[in-house]
């Protein structure tokens, strides 16, 4: 599993599954995403090199912490916080969702464990800036708004990439708080993204990709990025990666693993970009 990267009891990479989809607003099923992503990273399929010829097996040692199970969102937030706090000592964390509400919990945990400030690069068809959605303040449609309003990230240090399904209310909130939104249309014209901060958490909602490249998602939105465009953005990022997540992969609606393999590709290229320097 995992591109041939070795298991280790002294890892510099932790993997944590978060099979939570209680706030999914259209097609539930992303709770099955973590295990589908793990299966798609098989070393039987992939060699250990990124496109930039970084040998992941040479630079990374990983430990899979399994899946976090919780009965409520509050319990989920607390359990993730406990797990990250117990293990974090500067290592890279990869979180496997689950719907996009989990990013609130994972960023909160990383920030508290690290004591550091960092920006957020948020790949998504949707800006997730609703004040509430279906009566839920912590819905996957509210994630970025909660993070900004609760001071876990500064609006001026949030970049959203691939957005193509905003509302007027959300765009107004983004402008008011300095959130930079780069639409799918803008990426189509130029895939290079300039990042004005040094450290970042990367969050990948698989629906940032066009449904042709990622059919297995909860809220598909046509007109999205190609896998190639997304890989080029990742390769062009000039930022230290503190942690990252892959969310909203719904295996029930995937076709022959297309979306899961795209998720694996994203992970491999992010790991190539974020080689651990000792």
Q: Does 42 reside within a domain?
A: yes
Instruction: Say whether 7 counts as a known binding-site residue.
Output: no
Q: Where residue 251 sits, what CATH number does that domain have?
A: 3.40.800.10
205 annotated to a ligand binding site: yes
Q: Is 207 flagged in the annotation as binding?
A: yes
Cross-sheet strand order for the sheet of 180-183? 62-67, 13-18, 92-97, 240-247, 199-205, 119-123, 158-163, 180-183
In a domain, 132, yes or no: yes
Is 254 part of any known ligand binding site? no
Q: What pLDDT was estimated at residue 230?
A: 97
Kindly report, residue by residue over 148-195, the tens digit of the pLDDT.
999 999 999 999 999 999 999 999 999 999 999 999 999 999 888 999
The structure tokens 């970084």 sit at 54
User: What is the predicted pLDDT for the residue at 42?
Assistant: 84
* Tens of pLDDT, residues 1-10: 689 999 999 9
Structural domain span for residue 177: 2-273
Count the domains in the chain. 1
Four-CA torsion 193, 161, 62, 21, nearest 10 degrees: 180
Is residue 278 in some structural domain?
no
Residues 6+ apart with CB under 8 A from 51: 231, 235, 269, 272
Residue 19 tokens read as 């099979």
Length, in residues, of the chain: 278
CB 238 within 8 A of CB 19: no
Confidence band of 277 (pLDDT split at 50, 70, 90): very low
The pLDDT of residue 27: 83
H or E element at residue 16 = strand 13-18
Detail the DSSP E strand segments found in 52-124: 62-67, 92-97, 119-123
Kindly report the pTM of this predicted structure: 0.95
Rg, the chain, Cα only? 17
Nearest to 206 by CA among 171, 265, 247: 247
């Amino acid at each position: 599993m995992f591109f041939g990267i070795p298991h280790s009891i002294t890892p510099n990479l932790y993997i944590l599954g978060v099979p939570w989809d209680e706030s999914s607003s259209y097609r539930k099923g992303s709770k099955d995403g973590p295990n589908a992503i793990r299966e798609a990273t098989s070393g039987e399929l992939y060699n250990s090199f990124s496109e930039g010829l970084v040998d992941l097996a040479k630079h990374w040692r990983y430990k899979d912490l399994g899946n976090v199970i919780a009965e409520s969102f509050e319990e989920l937030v607390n359990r993730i916080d406990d797990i990250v706090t117990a293990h974090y000592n500067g290592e890279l964390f990869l979180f496997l969702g689950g719907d996009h509400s989990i990013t609130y919990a994972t960023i909160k945990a990383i920030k508290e464990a690290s004591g550091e400030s960092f920006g957020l690069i948020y790949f998504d068809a949707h800006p997730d800036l609703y004040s509430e959605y279906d009566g839920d303040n912590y819905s996957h449609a509210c994630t970025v708004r909660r993070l900004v309003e609760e001071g876990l990230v500064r609006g001026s240090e949030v970049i959203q990439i691939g957005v193509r399904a905003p509302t007027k209310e959300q765009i107004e909130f983004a402008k008011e708080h300095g959130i930079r939104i780069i639409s799918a249309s803008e990426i189509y014209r130029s895939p290079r993204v300039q990042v004005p901060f040094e450290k970042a958490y990367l969050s990948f909602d698989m629906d940032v990709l066009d449904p042709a490249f990622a059919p297995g998602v909860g809220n598909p939105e046509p007109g999205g990025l190609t896998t190639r465009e997304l890989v080029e953005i990742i390769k062009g990022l000039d930022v230290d990666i503190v942690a990252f997540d892959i969310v909203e992969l719904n295996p029930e609606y995937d076709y022959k693993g297309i979306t899961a393999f795209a998720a694996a590709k994203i992970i491999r290229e992010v790991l190539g970009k974020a080689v651990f320097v000792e």
